Structure 1
Amino acid sequence: MAKENYSADSLTVLEGLDAVRKRPGMYIGTTDSQGLMHCLWEIIDNSVDEALAGACNDIKVILHTDGSIEVDDNGRGIPVDVEPKTGLTGVEVVLTKLHAGAKFGNASYNAAGGLHGVGSSVVNALSSRLDVEVDRNGKTYHMAFHQGHPGVYQDADPSKPSPDSPFKRTRKNRATELEVIGKVSPKTTGTRIRYWADPEIFNDTARFSYEQLIDRVRQTTFLVPGLKITVIDENIPETGDASVDAMLEVDTPQNAAGIAGNAFGHDTDAGIGDVDSSDGADSIDKADHADGNSDTGQVEDTAADDATDNREAQAASQAALASAARPHRRVEEFLHTGGVKDFVDFLSKGEPVCDIWRISGEDTYTEETQAVDGKGELHAQNIERTCKVDIALRWVNGYDTTLRSFVNVVETPGGGMHVDGFLQGITKQIRKSVEDNARKLKVNLKDAKTRVERDDILAGLVAVVTVRIAEPQFQGQTKDVLGTAPVRPIVSKMTEQQFGEMITGSKRGYKEQSGRVLEKIVGEMHARIQARKTKEVTRRKNALEAASMPAKLSDCQPGNDDIAELFIVEGDSALGTAKAARNSSFQALLPIRGKILNVQKASLSQMLSNKECASIIQVVGAGSGASFDLSQARYNKIIMMTDADVDGAHIRILLLTLFYRYMRPLIEAGHVYAAVPPLHRIALAGKHKGEFIYTYSDDELSGKLADLERRHIDYNPDIQRYKGLGEMDADQLADTTMDPRSRMLRRIRMEDAQKAAGIFDLLMGGEVPPRRQFIVENADDFDRSKIDT
């Protein structure tokens, strides 16, 4: 029956932007938060393309309180004249016609992010309202749209446009006239687009991410040196101390209006700071605020002038307080001049193994493409393209990989031909250099297993790979992967040539750096091979496997994994006491001899060959580095139990460095602790005989003794001071340090990973002058009680 009813009447033809609203996922991927952000990227990318064309250097992104978003640039402005083929103005063509724009040829945009000609029109189709203003020819032009259709809104208040205002749609197949709403300087050009996302399209889970916006804006300014992008968020006002409001009492409406005018009436542009090459980032977070300064003039020796000066000073003071207390918009500005080199510096976390290396240049390739001829028809033509390559990279002392890739400032999370070419080039040159320096690097070329793999190279690599080409081929509108095949051999060849000179040390100034890079990569290779061999040894051992554990480990009974504790004990003497003090059902002991290796300075191979470090990793049982698996850890708590002196604190720091560098998830999950043994033991006398008080610092001891004397409690003046854990007997150690019912532990936390990395690099790294300077500058603020906190 269904076949008999199937005719031409059953067919549906979607015209214009209706297809976008019917199948939005084809154009923006999803209708959740990802799709919502993708719409914003499309508008911003169009402004950035103006910057790439050399016509724009200032972009503003404004987040309005009504949920709309506005993007303002000082580019050339969308053309306002009539496009001959459609009879529509350039503004209406760009915003209502799919696959329309100036990016299908090479005249206006040689390298652009928006190349499919659907970005602006798709955003328009998926908006409940979109307003566009264009500055050109000394005039400001305006046009409005509702769900992609042009027309006119009747706003009750023109300064507060709303998608709920009455809308009169332009009749079908008729051009919409551009409304002239103002005048500008003949030299002033630019485009402002403000849109409201359509709730009929986006689902209830769609949320705008301010953090994603800031990250995208920051990376864009890295990739387009000299471009300033300002983000103005009117939804999150910044305020001063609310208590200041109480000080701003005004008695008259005139005073109230004056203060309000000073606080809100004048927005000032946030200044642009100098690029800080030390951290690679020149992001400025500044809020618009009032200028509270006032000129009091020259003071005259008269009572009237004194009174005037007092009033002016008081008004200035009140204005400053008002500015500090009242809400104001959050404004963040971004401007960078160092390009991808600064970007890599910004992304680098950890101690660098080498300087930032740069690979750049350009080459040409021939591509067959459909080009529009003079009659407006498409024909296949061979066109010579230019591919510009700009890559920055460095290795840091770690195992995490940070590889970001871009095509015409559009990020390609899935990589593509440019990333494949880059990785192919560095892999080939590194393998060649390892073979040429096999004896120096202690690599056995006869062993087939000792071959550098790509994962060895990527460990600790921070790289930004960018190419600029005309009309790149992406996989889909979301532009996740670059598919232009000729880019791969160009990037590979350029990488082989320039990177080859660096890694072989033939380029001046690179010999020492290349040696460190090769040593790190070979170390990663050996660690990978060793990890494969010892994988089972580093896992949780059952009763049959216990014999493979270090002989000095005093393990706890199996079956208590959820409460099991590993005490890393300083010295064999303390081990003897701890054995008698522990609860063997869930407490294990591992002694270490003195100060272990400082792994922040040592290489990976040195760490693995160190007996103490290897034993700790083996006993914890969850692996190390990138292969660390927290779920395989044999103990719920790792407790560092060292003497309560300077040497003990140093040992704890060295242990923490090992955990941070190679078993970081233990710290992040809160499984690492420091035991807190006492320093003194006070024996009470008189009616309190047989009672003891423990103190943990000299200051606490003084305070406790003073308290006892004030309360007239007798005590033995011979205060016992523990020089080490071994001086305690088992009962004392259990009561004060090991028994969960009476002990005190300090949990090691890492709330800020980036700050923690900086502290480890500063205090435990190989650079002595910065550490000396830090110690000198902070010596007066030293607080022993803050150690391990």
Structure 2
Amino acid sequence: MRVTSNESYTARHLQVLEGLEAVRKRPGMYIGSTDSRGLMHCLWEIIDNAVDEALEGHADAVEVRLYADGSVEVRDNGRGVPVDEVPGVGLSGVEVVYTKLHAGGKFGGGSYGSSGGLHGVGASVVNALSERMDVQVDRGGKTYQMQFHRGEPGRFSDGASGPDPRAPFSAFTESSVLDVVGKVAKNKSGTRVRYWADPEIFLASAAFSYEELVERARQTAFLVPGLTISLVDEREGTAGENAEGEGDEGQAPHEGPRTETFRFDGGTVDFVDFLAPDSAVTATMRLTGEGTFAEKVPVLDAESGHLVSREVERAVAVDVALRWGKDYETRVESFVNIIRTPGGGTHQSGFEQGLMKVVRSLVESNSRRLKMSAKDPRIEKDDVLAGLTAVVTVRLPEPQFEGQTKEILGTSAVRGIVSGVVERELGAILGSSKRDQKTETSRLLEKVVAEMRARVTARMHKEISRRKNALEASSLPAKLADCRSEDVAETELFIVEGDSALGTAKLARSSEFQALFPIRGKILNVQKASTADILKNKEVSEIIQVVGAGSGRTFDLPAARYGKVIMMTDADVDGAHIRTLLLTLFFRYMRPLVQEGRVYAAVPPLHRIEVSGGKGGKKSYIYTYSEDQLHAELRKLERAGKSYREPIQRYKGLGEMDAHQLAETTMDPSRRTLRRIRMEDERALMEAETVFELLMGNDVAPRREFIVEGAAAVDRDRIDA
């Protein structure tokens, strides 16, 4: 163990890291990490600087280009970085912006009212962490250029192959020079920044994510109406379709660069409509307003050139769009000066605070119509947020973030301002006496109260529906024929159509791991029904209770009592309808069960062929599961010269089979066939949402149109009626 005395630890052991050296020494302090996440953060800093020009109305186009050599370029048609000399510094504006920490036009000098890049370390940090950076500025009829090597200004001697970070570099020694490299029209201005991330800083696995770029570009285009953002990916192995306003998902790939362009002339309302995953309960509402607060901050004094502490008045602009949908999932996206704040902050907490005040007040004033009693619990935040899609944006100068990565807004005064705007604007909309608005508000309040009751009921279900021991078994529905095993990985719950099939299934099952639960006829269509109606329905509530994991937003997959849930219905039209109703229940209120692939449909046979064994021979049976398979088997028998009994037995229901036949064809794991219900990705989820709403929802017209359009493709002989 090495011991160092106090006397040997002196001032000469302290390192003073000047300027950008500190950034290269501790990059994680400025960009979070040196993997792909940190690499993308550097790119956001440069993009945000370009978008800030658009926020102030000085630019309407930004282009991001990923080159095959690993570099990236960001272009804008804004005012261009100042090229004149900065007073008191003796350097050009370009060199100050890209080499000096905490330098720029976003510290209260009047150049930017609100901006995304506000710490003044963004561009200079990116420069310090770049092996090479080229900055070109169009301004005053000329194109100016300055080049940097790991933050140091100078010139590269590029060859015929073009810019290369490994080209010979000559650093400026006595004074820096801002080169004039071309001419442009006098009314043309803008900035181009191309840089190569330093391999000495970033991990070899770090790479720019085109998918993240697409998401961020689309998001920014929504938040800055009228701004055109173009993406070009020239890297090897990339391919795609050009797109405008939408991504290229699902398009056929082609050779060449992948390019996309985004422009939206709407605003937060369009953003919410894009994000919303379900059908609407309310129209999309936009809430806007402003507020001010006083703040004591250091301000650069024009006369002395020093920072002095003064009290300034800050203006906060609030723009919120929101709507409630029929589903129970919540999606709230928050932004400060168009910078996404995934951790939320004071603006999001203010939004939720104002929202709760308005909805609770409306529920209390309509308690009689909503059949609320004194025994009902108070409305909670989760009840109000269920099914909500919202975009919360605020704009203010010099917001206080928690860290350079800007994930959480910390300016405390914003909370009260946002809360006040939401309370005032949303209260006026939902409290309107217009007939259409009153109907919409009524639907919303019914949904909120239903969510509250569903939460309470689900909590009760969760408490009582875990696997019971022998003393507690009576709390489960009496008609459940449970299994003996408690190993969830091997247990199976068969939901059986009708009591007649239940009797046969009891004899056919393996009682060690197969449980049976009969349902009578067709259960409630939960797509159309309110949560209150669902909880009152005996069949639905008992299925939720038997599965044992709750329902809706409180569904707890690990608490499910069975590894597989198998729908076993008759092979006819009514059986298919019952399967659809059950699937609607699972999709709407037990979705994780479907997403994990734990819901199945049994496949009972349609036909039984009795094959003669000849003289003294034993008869055999062949089961078929479709008309095509039946005819194929009959042709085989005829070619083999075997006879079979006619007419062929056609099973109309599970009750027509005896226990041996049902076990052999439908329940025995070694011989049965199951159809697994899958929902593998986000696209499958969206398609399922659309289909369930079309086939099972309240809107009749689209369903009628679907039936009429598909009628010509139906084979009448295959309809089992």
Q: TM-score range by the shorter chain?
A: over 0.9
Alpha-carbon deviation of 1:558?
2.3
Counterparts of 2:63 and 2:352, CA distance in 1: 36
1:198 aligns with 2:203: no
Q: Which residue of 2 aligns with 1:276?
A: none
- Change in 2 beyond 3 A, CA 1:201/1:237: closer
Matched ranges for 1:74-473 at <5 A: 74-105=77-108, 107-157=110-160, 159=162, 161-171=163-173, 174-235=174-235, 237=237, 272=244, 282-285=245-248, 327-375=255-303, 376-444=305-373, 446-447=374-375, 450-473=377-400
Counterparts of 1:95 and 1:80, CA distance in 2: 12
1:737 aligns with 2:700: no
Q: Which residue of 2 aligns with 1:12?
A: 15
Q: Which residue of 2 aligns with 1:251?
A: none
Conserved 8 A contact 2:132-2:165: yes
Matched ranges for 1:536-685 at <5 A: 536-685=463-612
Counterparts of 2:70 and 2:207, CA distance in 1: 11
Counterparts of 1:598 and 1:726, CA distance in 2: 25
Counterparts of 1:532 and 1:453, CA distance in 2: 14
Superimposed CA distance per residue, residues 364-389 of structure 1 (whole angstroms, 9 cap, x where no aligned partner): 33332222221222222232322111
3-state SS of paired residue (1:555): coil
1:493 aligns with 2:425: no
Conserved 8 A contact 1:99-1:118: yes
- Change in 2 beyond 3 A, CA 1:86/1:662: same
Question: Aligned to 1:694, which of 603, 623, 632?
Answer: 623
- Change in 2 beyond 3 A, CA 1:364/1:326: closer
3-state SS of paired residue (1:510): helix
Matched ranges for 1:699-778 at <5 A: 699-751=628-680, 752-778=684-710
- How many percent identity over aligned positions? 59
Counterparts of 1:513 and 1:86, CA distance in 2: 61
Q: Which residue of 1 aligns with 2:34?
A: 31
Superimposed CA distance per residue, residues 103-126 of structure 1 (whole angstroms, 9 cap, x where no aligned partner): 112522111111111100011111
Superimposed CA distance per residue, residues 448-497 of structure 1 (whole angstroms, 9 cap, x where no aligned partner): x5100111111111110001111112122111222222222221111111
Q: Which residue of 2 aligns with 1:316?
A: none
Conserved 8 A contact 1:236-1:330: no
TM-score, structure 1 as length reference: 0.86
- Change in 2 beyond 3 A, CA 1:207/1:609: farther
Counterparts of 1:496 and 1:659, CA distance in 2: 36
1:68 aligns with 2:71: yes
Q: Which residue of 2 aligns with 1:528?
A: 455
Counterparts of 2:64 and 2:691, CA distance in 1: 35
Conserved 8 A contact 1:287-1:331: no
Conserved 8 A contact 1:681-1:692: yes
Alpha-carbon deviation of 1:61?
0.9
Aligned residues: 710
Report the residue type matching 1:667 in the other structure: V
Counterparts of 2:164 and 2:230, CA distance in 1: 24
Conserved 8 A contact 1:287-1:329: no
Conserved 8 A contact 1:351-1:765: no
3-state SS of paired residue (1:82): coil
Counterparts of 1:83 and 1:391, CA distance in 2: 39
Alpha-carbon deviation of 1:662?
1.2
Superimposed CA distance per residue, residues 612-664 of structure 1 (whole angstroms, 9 cap, x where no aligned partner): 11111111112222222222221111110001011111111111111111111
Gaps of 5+ in 1: 241-268, 273-281, 289-323
Counterparts of 2:152 and 2:694, CA distance in 1: 59
Conserved 8 A contact 2:298-2:307: yes
3-state SS of paired residue (1:759): helix
Counterparts of 2:349 and 2:321, CA distance in 1: 15
TM-score, structure 2 as length reference: 0.94
Counterparts of 2:62 and 2:499, CA distance in 1: 66
Q: Which residue of 2 aligns with 1:21?
A: 24
Conserved 8 A contact 1:683-1:689: no
Gaps of 5+ in 2: none
Conserved 8 A contact 1:32-1:203: yes
Alpha-carbon deviation of 1:543?
3.0
Which is worse superposed, 471-480 or 460-469? 471-480
RMSD: 2.4
Conserved 8 A contact 1:598-1:764: yes
Superimposed CA distance per residue, residues 250-305 of structure 1 (whole angstroms, 9 cap, x where no aligned partner): xxxxxxxxxxxxxxxxxxx9674xxxxxxxxx3254999xxxxxxxxxxxxxxxxx
Conserved 8 A contact 1:685-1:716: yes
Which is worse superposed, 327-336 or 598-607? 598-607
- Change in 2 beyond 3 A, CA 1:497/1:607: same
Which is worse superposed, 572-581 or 100-109? 100-109
Counterparts of 1:192 and 1:156, CA distance in 2: 21
